[in-house]
Amino acid sequence: MMDTAVQLRRPDETGVPDPFQYMHPLMVKNYGAWAWHDRPRPGVLYHVAKSGDEIWTVRAGTQRQMDVFTIRKLCDIADRFAEGHVRFTTRSNIEFMVSAFEKVQPLVDALQSAGFPVGGTGNSVSMISHTQGWLHCDIPGTDASGVVKSLMDMMYHEFITEEMPNRVRITTSCCQINCGGQGDISINVQYTKPPKINHDLVSKVCERPAVVARCPVAAIRPAMVDGKPSLEVDEQKCVCCGACYPPCPPMQINGADSTKIAIWVGGKHSNARSKPTFHKLVVANLPNNPPRWPEVEEVVRTILYVYKNHGRDFERLGEWIERIGWPRFFDLTGFAFTKHHLDTWTGSRKTMNMSAHVHF
Amino acid sequence: MSHDDISHDHRDQDRPQQDTGGHHPTPMLDQLEEGPWPSFVTGLKRLRDAEGQQYAPMMNDLLGQLEHSYNERLGFWKGGTVSVFGYGGGVIPRFSEVAAQFPASKEFHTLRVQPPAGLHYDTDVLRKLCDIWERHGSGLIAFHGQSGDIMFQGCSTDNVQKAFDELNEIGFDLGGAGPALRTSMSCVGHARCEMSCYDEVRAHRSVINEFLDEMHRPALPYKFKFKFSGCGNDCVNAVHRADFAVIGTWRDDMKVNQDGVKAYVAKAGRKYTIDHVIAMCPTRALSLNDDDTLDVDNKSCVRCMHCINVMNKALSPGDDRGAAILMGGKRALKVGDLMGTLMIPFIKLDTDEDYENLVALARRILEFFADNALEHERVGETMDRIGLPSFLEAVGIDPDPNMVNHPRTSCYVRTDDFTEEAEKYFERKARESGLDVAAE
């Protein structure tokens, strides 16, 4: 490398790859011309095209962060028991498409015996969408992979069956930026202390005006500390969101004990029935407790099974709460309703009950 | 490469905490190998234990650092600058803050790589991706990140260019990072779904491949995301995750196969059908007739998809299909969550010209964003900052009652040009209904 002149290769800016080269031939043939579908069993979809062609899909859960050996094992199964064509869902499940019903059971068996749960369809708890965490992120409060593994173990039965009132979409995020997004249940880091500032480093590492501009509550201002240009935080104003930390790593927002986990419910992207909604706070201040986060697991289990027992068919978790009311939700789950559940951000009055409609 | 030999040397000097096999003990992570769900820890260990592979020492130290994080409950990666020749973005640099203890994984960068539209693969290409990553990276790949990227996680600085060159040779390109156009996602759609209202692959590839310069050479005020869902079920979560969400819908009447409806009622029961289909219609557009056929008030229907989802053998979207465009979705930073807001009630997506119109609309919004957003401001925040009327005027979109839940309730507005604005509205309505306004 040192001795020879480096030959740099210009990138070929190919952009989004054309999927037709990888797609199952029946999907190419019937592209845009499907008629209806059914679910013969959990984890299996059956689609019928207008041409009369049929295709079966077997869906299996993965760990998302996959080693090449796992991917090759999935490829071996796809070559031996399916037809060599797969796709992934947005929630990191893998789907194998086959052209004959007879191939479904051997494929299901092969996946299960290799340790891949078959499910995630219909009214199941699908794989949790998650973020990077301690494995790879530069600002994480927790490790999404570990939280997800622990929770999916707990909810395994709900992945391989379709026993919930409607689909359940769970997300986790390792900081309050919330890359994991909205979910029926969301498990998100919630910081509880203002950033701890290393004043020796701020002027070397941070573009101070940009950091000041990031703060949603204008709590950061430039300051001279011990003769050095730095930043200071008005801790009365600070909402501990961590927005200053990515542009200024010396403003450490994480602490082994102060980084907590909050659980939110009722987020929904689909337009089915009700309009899309944001998730709402249920419990905060749960400990960030690796390797299996038992306190988080307990709260999620409680919410999930109260919903399972009380929700009506096709009600998403937020729609179920909408029907029974928040007082009953807090009663049924046994969680506390506190002043912190009252929104204080812009537009918060619109989240209040501006009526005499009361649940008793 | 000598790089790995050097890492071995460092490791042998620096680390006291190793078992007889030279592995870092991982008592915390080991507990994540229990339970029925596939374990990422078991996968990491397979890579650590892969004899003779260049990445094995790196993955041993990676496991060591991760165990260290589990013990300390803190992360130990920092960013930096790593790129490939010709591009400014697409690589997420990670340098270890505890490299003295875990030197072989001191550089652990991620390559974000754009997936095929609809996330389709065959085993041949997956194996090629694995082989490339085994030669140059860690052997750890995530399918997929939240923006849709294939994330090739764990690469030394020296190997980033080599890995990219090989990925690029087989038709894969880097995705977005930083203040740039980001990698996009589209649902399975036309490929296998009867709900699909437009050609998602075509829309996705037409839009993103037109603006690759904005992805590869970050120069926007902040990130910008497109997402493509074929119907209101929004399987790629476009409404809240995308600055520009393309969500399939239709304009004409939904299609009803009354025999299919009767068959559904016969099977599910009349009460069940009424409670779970008819009564769950958000706009009371459905009624079950006495003979168990369905009465649809299509003018009241908002295309929410519920009844079609439940009775998909009997009901389907109409024939006059296209998409609704919502803009400005994002998560908390900085002004709080914003849900995408309906900007274009319907754009036809059928002919070449229709798809060119979609790309032209995308260009207008991107150019507006590049020219007007403040640093680190998402387009939804710009829309709020300047007010929707100014945004609409700037990007050439006419106001439409579909944009609102209800008209304004605040009287703090200056309305001296209300009459002129009303005339524009009537002219538009006349134009839309095919009248020749100029002739009047």
pLDDT digits (tens, 9 = 90+) for A265-274: 999 999 999 9
Return the pLDDT at A2.
54
pLDDT digit string (tens) for A130-140?
Answer: 999 999 999 99
Q: B12 falls in which pLDDT band (50, 70, 90)?
A: very low
pLDDT digit string (tens) for A84-112?
Answer: 999 999 999 999 999 999 999 999 999 99
Q: How far apart are the C-alpha atoms of B253 and B187, rounded to whole Å? A: 24
Handedness of CA B119, B122, B123, B124 (dihedral sign): negative
Return the pLDDT at B231.
98
**Is residue A57 within 8 angstroms of chain B, CB to CB?**
yes
Which residues of chain B are within 8 Å of residue A243 when distances are taken between CB atoms? 333-334
By percentage, how much of chain A surpasses pLDDT 70?
Answer: 98
Q: Average pLDDT in the A110-119 region?
A: 98
Q: B188 falls in which pLDDT band (50, 70, 90)?
A: very high
**Is residue A292 within 8 angstroms of chain B, CB to CB?**
yes
Q: Average pLDDT in the B396-424 region?
A: 96
Q: Average pLDDT in the B92-103 region?
A: 98
Closest CA–CA distance from residue B246 to any residue of chain A (Å)? 13
Does residue A131 sit in helix, strand or coil?
coil
Q: Average pLDDT in the B367-374 region?
A: 97
8 Å CB contact between B122 and A45: no
8 Å CB contact between B55 and B107: no
- Structure-token pair, residue A39: 């679910």
Q: How far apart are the C-alpha atoms of A116 and A159, rounded to whole Å? A: 11
Residue found under tokens 């290799």? A114
Return the pLDDT at A7.
78
CB neighbour list of residue B429: distance below 8 Å, 6 or more residues apart: none
Comparing alpha-carbon positions, the chain B residue that sits nearest to A242 is B333
- Structure-token pair, residue B421: 């604005």
**Is residue A15 within 8 angstroms of chain B, CB to CB?**
yes
Angle at CA A146, nearest 5°, toward A134 and B146?
70
Comparing alpha-carbon positions, the chain A residue that sits nearest to B153 is A136
Angle at CA B383, nearest 5°, toward B377 and B386?
100
Of B40, B78, B335, which is closest to A149 when you measure between CB atoms?
Answer: B40
- Structure-token pair, residue B214: 């904005």
Q: B11 falls in which pLDDT band (50, 70, 90)?
A: very low
Q: Average pLDDT in the B332-343 region?
A: 92
pLDDT of residue B438 exceeding 90, the answer is no
Closest CA–CA distance from residue B140 to any residue of chain A (Å)? 5
CB atoms near residue B45 (< 10 Å): 20
Which residues of chain B are within 8 Å of residue A117 when distances are taken between CB atoms? 36-38
Q: B436 falls in which pLDDT band (50, 70, 90)?
A: low
Q: A311 falls in which pLDDT band (50, 70, 90)?
A: very high
**Average pLDDT value for chain B:** 94
Structural domains of chain A sorted by starting position, each given as residue range(s) with its CATH number in brackets: 22-113 (3.30.70.3340), 133-192+257-345 (3.30.413.10), 196-252 (3.30.70.20)
A276–B239: do the CB atoms touch at under 8 Å? yes
8 Å CB contact between B91 and B111: yes
First to last CA, chain B: 79
Closest CA–CA distance from residue B81 to any residue of chain A (Å)? 13
Q: How far apart are the C-alpha atoms of A303 and A186, rounded to whole Å? A: 11
Q: B268 falls in which pLDDT band (50, 70, 90)?
A: very high
Q: Average pLDDT in the B274-281 region?
A: 98
Return the pLDDT at A4.
61
Of residues B127, B51, B187, the one with CA closest to residue A77: B127
Of residues B322, B307, B194, the one with CA closest to residue B247: B322
Residues pairing with A61 in the sheet? none
Closest CA–CA distance from residue B429 to any residue of chain A (Å)? 27
Interface with chain B: mutation pick from A271, A296, A319, A349, highest number of B CBs within 10 Å: A271
pLDDT of residue B6 exceeding 50, the answer is no
A276–B142: do the CB atoms touch at under 8 Å? no
Q: How far apart are the C-alpha atoms of B36 and A159, rounded to whole Å? A: 11
Of A133, A216, A314, which is closest to B280 when you measure between CB atoms?
Answer: A314
Q: How far apart are the C-alpha atoms of B241 and A246, rounded to whole Å? A: 20
**Is residue A192 within 8 angstroms of chain B, CB to CB?**
no
Closest CA–CA distance from residue A310 to any residue of chain B (Å)? 15
Which residues of chain A are within 8 Å of residue B331 when distances are taken between CB atoms? 177-179, 181
Q: How far apart are the C-alpha atoms of B27 and B383, rounded to whole Å? A: 50
Q: Average pLDDT in the B197-222 region?
A: 98
Q: A70 falls in which pLDDT band (50, 70, 90)?
A: very high
Return the pLDDT at B16.
47
**Is residue A46 within 8 angstroms of chain B, CB to CB?**
no
B331–A177: do the CB atoms touch at under 8 Å? yes
- Structure-token pair, residue B192: 């296998």
pTM of the model: 0.95
Angle at CA B360, nearest 5°, toward B356 and B363?
140
pLDDT digit string (tens) for B172-183?
Answer: 999 999 999 999
A8–B237: do the CB atoms touch at under 8 Å? no
Q: A3 falls in which pLDDT band (50, 70, 90)?
A: low
pLDDT of residue B230 exceeding 90, the answer is yes
B216–A213: do the CB atoms touch at under 8 Å? no
Q: B19 falls in which pLDDT band (50, 70, 90)?
A: low
Residue found under tokens 């037809």? A83
8 Å CB contact between B376 and A214: yes
DSSP string, A290-306: TTT-HHHHHHHHHHHHH
Amino acid at A282: V
Return the pLDDT at B5.
39
Of B38, B125, B331, which is closest to A62 when you measure between CB atoms?
Answer: B38
Peptide bond into A196 cis (omega under 30): no
Packed helices A68-81 and B40-48: angle between N→C axes, nearest 10 degrees: 110
Instruction: Report CA Rg, chain B.
Output: 27
**Average pLDDT value for chain A:** 96
Q: B434 falls in which pLDDT band (50, 70, 90)?
A: confident
Q: Average pLDDT in the A117-129 region?
A: 97
Does residue A73 sit in helix, strand or coil?
helix
Q: How far apart are the C-alpha atoms of A269 and A91, rounded to whole Å? A: 14
**Is residue A70 within 8 angstroms of chain B, CB to CB?**
yes
**Is residue A3 within 8 angstroms of chain B, CB to CB?**
no
Exposed (0-12), middle (13-18) or buried (19+): which is A115, by Cβ within 10 Å?
A: middle
Which residues of chain A are within 8 Å of residue B158 when distances are taken between CB atoms? 1
For residue B298, what is the DSSP state? T
pLDDT of residue B3 exceeding 50, the answer is no
Structural domains of chain B sorted by starting position, each given as residue range(s) with its CATH number in brackets: 1-173 (3.30.70.2500), 185-250+321-439 (3.30.413.10), 255-316 (3.30.70.20)
pLDDT of residue B8 exceeding 60, the answer is no
Strand A185-191 and strand A170-173: pairing?
Answer: parallel
Does residue B309 sit in helix, strand or coil?
helix
DSSP string, B202-251: HHHHHHHHHTHHHHHS--SSS-B-EEEESSTT-TT-HHHH-SEEEEEEES
Return the pLDDT at A117.
98
Return the pLDDT at A183.
96
Instruction: Report CA Rg, chain A.
Output: 24
pLDDT digit string (tens) for B34-45?
Answer: 999 999 999 999
pLDDT digit string (tens) for B390-402?
Answer: 999 999 999 999 9
Q: Which H/E stretch holds residue B121?
A: strand B120-122
By percentage, how much of chain B surpasses pLDDT 70?
Answer: 94
pLDDT of residue B407 exceeding 50, the answer is yes
Of residues A170, A24, A197, the one with CA closest to residue A103: A24
Count of CB contacts below 8 A, A vs B? 362
Residue found under tokens 């399972």? A308
Q: Average pLDDT in the A250-254 region?
A: 97
Exposed (0-12), middle (13-18) or buried (19+): which is B326, by Cβ within 10 Å?
A: buried
A293 alpha carbon, distance to own chain's centre = 16
Which residues of chain B are within 8 Å of residue A21 when distances are taken between CB atoms? 116, 122
- State chain B's maximal CA–CA distance in angstroms: 92
Of residues B183, B184, B178, the one with CA closest to residue B219: B178
Return the pLDDT at B336.
87
**Is residue A115 within 8 angstroms of chain B, CB to CB?**
yes
Closest CA–CA distance from residue A327 to any residue of chain B (Å)? 23
Q: How far apart are the C-alpha atoms of B372 and B380, rounded to whole Å? A: 12
Q: How far apart are the C-alpha atoms of B39 and B61, rounded to whole Å? A: 18
Of A138, A176, A179, which is closest to B94 when you measure between CB atoms?
Answer: A138
Interface with chain A: mutation pick from B70, B73, B308, highest number of A CBs within 10 Å: B73
Closest CA–CA distance from residue B22 to any residue of chain A (Å)? 21
